[in-house]
Structure 1
Amino acid sequence: MKEDPIRKLSVDDFVKIMGEEPQSEGLHVFIPKDFTQIRVTYPYRSSGYKLIYVAKGVLKFTINLITYTLEKNESIGIIPKSVIQILEISDDLRIISINFSTKFIFDNYFNKAGIDTFGYLTYNNVPKLQFKKQEGKILKMLAKMLKFYNQQENSIYKKELIRNTFGVIIYNYAEIFKRAYPDLKIELSRQEELTARFWNILQENVKIERTVQFYADALNVTTGHLSKILKEVTGKTASQLIESAVIVEARLLLVDPKLSVAQIAEELQFPDQSIFGKYFKKHVGLSPSAYRRGNRK
């Protein structure tokens, strides 16, 4: 296989080049105060997603050889494997760049509504968006909040704060996008389409089916092919994704004080409470009862 001549830059690589401290895995929020020098002059291939918003000044760059110019209150989303090259920046440039991985999306937004919302980030030629003044102010506020939460080390609810703040940003972005381009159809690759179909079937059957074979049969593919594609798209195999979905369901049920652990085990189709307890502890590190005590409201 011929080696790709375009240099690949992960989020971590870009963080180092920009001289910033790493934040959390799979997510980094850039809000540089000084961005007057182009530190990456060569074209590079991005390994993750980017949402770029210009708060002030002008940014000129190419995505897959197509030239874009972003000015104040304009934004664009960039998908993984896109080839990017920064061409020009104004002296007064102020940008916000939210960088996140596919794994981050599927770890936090694995329901149908979430996948539908991220649909606008599947276009190969992504159109730029014009934000209204108030929308720009809201994005800047939310991005600062997200960066703050993403830098915390000892926050009890760090994951929840990040997931919810990021969710508000992404739903706002989707709202603006669909308002500007109501007739633009989602373009999914075969791998992305299979992954989305898998998630939809998983959401319907997570409480009753935990075998990879069931989902492979439903999608008319082999178990090996399904796991290979899911691993490429999400970073996890089919069995790992099924386990993650089961644990999320279990956590949601354990928050409800009206349900006993035995009832939850039955709801999730485990043979008995003991087997459910061992399964939960293996993946969470706590017994269901201990997890419930720690999450009482």
Structure 2
Amino acid sequence: MAVNEPLEISLKNVLDYFIVQNNEYRFVTKDFGIVSSFMRMTSELFFIHQPYKLKEGRIVYAVSGQVTLSINLIQYTAKKGDLLLLAPNSIIEIHEFTTDFEMRMMAIQNDFIQFLNKDEVLEYYIGRRENLFLPLSEKDYEMTERYFFLIWDTVHEEVFRKEVVQSLVSALLFNISYIRKRSKADTETRHTRQEETFHRFIALVHEYCTQERNVAFYADKLCLSPRYLNTLVKNTSRQTVMEWLNQAVVIESKVLLKHSDLLVYQIADKLNFPNPSFFCKFFKKMTGMTPMEYQKS
């Protein structure tokens, strides 16, 4: 029997399905999308405390209020002026937001900006699974708004000017790169080597957790000993390597349980558990619910 893959928040399924009530706040093609008002768009797809996988990368920034969300296990609180650059295939989960929260967003398919992949920020965006959280100064925020609405106005021309939009999105990304480099030079925001290694570890967990749950595997990828990796991760995050791996597997499990028609035994196999019983015990221990209870919740 054929089964569906987990639902991804992608440009394709946004085009294929009716999931918003107010289309005037968005513009979508097969390789680019832009949303001027996420809240007024009234999406029927997003729910609190439910993980989603974003197929394409995103440029997101808050324009009012505050939101708390997790991106690939890392929790962020974003308020007006905070910008997020989300790598393709990131898993997000919104925990809470204030009643006045609003954000703008672009979704960009990799090939849309492929010719720019030598730049540092685009390497984050395309080549790595790391995400960028960048508080903007008032001046940088206003400039980002000008870029955004220039792109917004351009996509609403009578003929879609793809090359113009590509150039404007590229200019925005290069400007984000300059802001990031300036921010990184600030001693108050510079990551230590341990923090950089930790973020590389989290990116690897996000990429391999469904198949690899051995500390030695991640230590080898980072050219570290398992013991040192354990110490570094615990010192940086107050959680062990295995705790991060288990959390990642739970998130992947939730995505599959909510957004696919896979049966529990198929999910257990997909996530490399030895048998369905082991998977059910693991999920119940981590969440307090059985897989079926979560699926129906």
TM-score (ref. length: structure 2)? 0.53
- 1:93 paired to 2:101: yes
Query: Relative to structure 1, is the Cα distance of residues 63 and 34 closer, same or farther in structure 2, using a 3 angstrom cutoff?
Result: closer
Contact 2:69 2:95 in 1 (8 A): yes
Task: Report deviation, 1:143.
Answer: 0.7
Aligned to 2:80: 72
Contact 1:73 1:131 in 2 (8 A): yes
Aligned to 1:145: 150
Structure 1 runs not aligned, ≥5 long: 190-297
Task: Report deviation, 1:14.
Answer: 4.0
- 1:25 paired to 2:30: yes
Task: Report deviation, 1:111.
Answer: 5.2
Contact 1:50 1:97 in 2 (8 A): yes
Contact 1:120 1:177 in 2 (8 A): no
Q: Following superposition of structure 1 onto structure 2, how do residues 96-135 of structure 1 map, counting pairs within 5 Å?
A: 96-106=104-114, 110=115, 113=118, 115-121=119-125, 122-135=127-140
Whose Rg is larger? 1
Q: How many residues are treated as equivalent by the alignment?
A: 182
Contact 1:23 1:150 in 2 (8 A): no
Task: Report deviation, 1:71.
Answer: 0.6
Give the RMSD, CA atoms, in angstroms.
Answer: 3.2
Query: How far, CA to CA, are the matches of 2:42 and 2:14 in structure 1?
Result: 14
Q: Following superposition of structure 1 onto structure 2, how do residues 34-49 of structure 1 map, counting pairs within 5 Å?
A: 34-35=39-40, 39=44, 40-41=46-47, 42-49=50-57
Q: Which of 168, 175, 192 is equivalent to 1:165? A: 168
Q: Deviations over 1:117-157 (max 9, x none)?
A: 412324534241110101111111211111221233425xx
Paired AA for residue 146 in structure 1: I
Q: Following superposition of structure 1 onto structure 2, how do residues 197-236 of structure 1 map, counting pairs within 5 Å?
A: none
3-state SS, counterpart of residue 67 of structure 1: strand
Contact 2:56 2:110 in 1 (8 A): yes
Query: Relative to structure 1, is the Cα distance of residues 117 and 68 closer, same or farther in structure 2, using a 3 angstrom cutoff?
Result: closer
Deviant stretches of 4+, over 6 Å: 183-189
Task: Report deviation, 1:53.
Answer: 0.3
Paired AA for residue 172 in structure 1: N
Task: Report deviation, 1:11.
Answer: 2.0
Paired AA for residue 119 in structure 1: E
Query: How far, CA to CA, are the matches of 2:171 and 2:96 in structure 1?
Result: 31
Q: Deviations over 1:134-185 (max 9, x none)?
A: 1111111211111221233425xx1232122112211111111222235777
| Structure with bigger RCO (C-alpha 8 Å, 6+ apart) | 2
Query: How far, CA to CA, are the matches of 1:34 and 1:172 in structure 2?
Result: 26
Aligned to 1:250: none
- 1:83 paired to 2:91: yes
Identity %: 17
Contact 1:35 1:93 in 2 (8 A): no
Structure 2 runs not aligned, ≥5 long: 205-297
Task: Report deviation, 1:60.
Answer: 1.6
Q: Deviations over 1:195-215 (max 9, x none)?
A: xxxxxxxxxxxxxxxxxxxxx
Query: Relative to structure 1, is the Cα distance of residues 6 and 65 closer, same or farther in structure 2, using a 3 angstrom cutoff?
Result: farther
Q: Mean Cα displacement is larger for which, 120-129 or 90-99?
A: 120-129
Contact 1:73 1:132 in 2 (8 A): yes
3-state SS, counterpart of residue 104 of structure 2: strand
3-state SS, counterpart of residue 179 of structure 1: helix
Q: Mean Cα displacement is larger for which, 19-28 or 64-73?
A: 19-28
Task: Report deviation, 1:103.
Answer: 1.6
TM-score (ref. length: structure 1)? 0.53
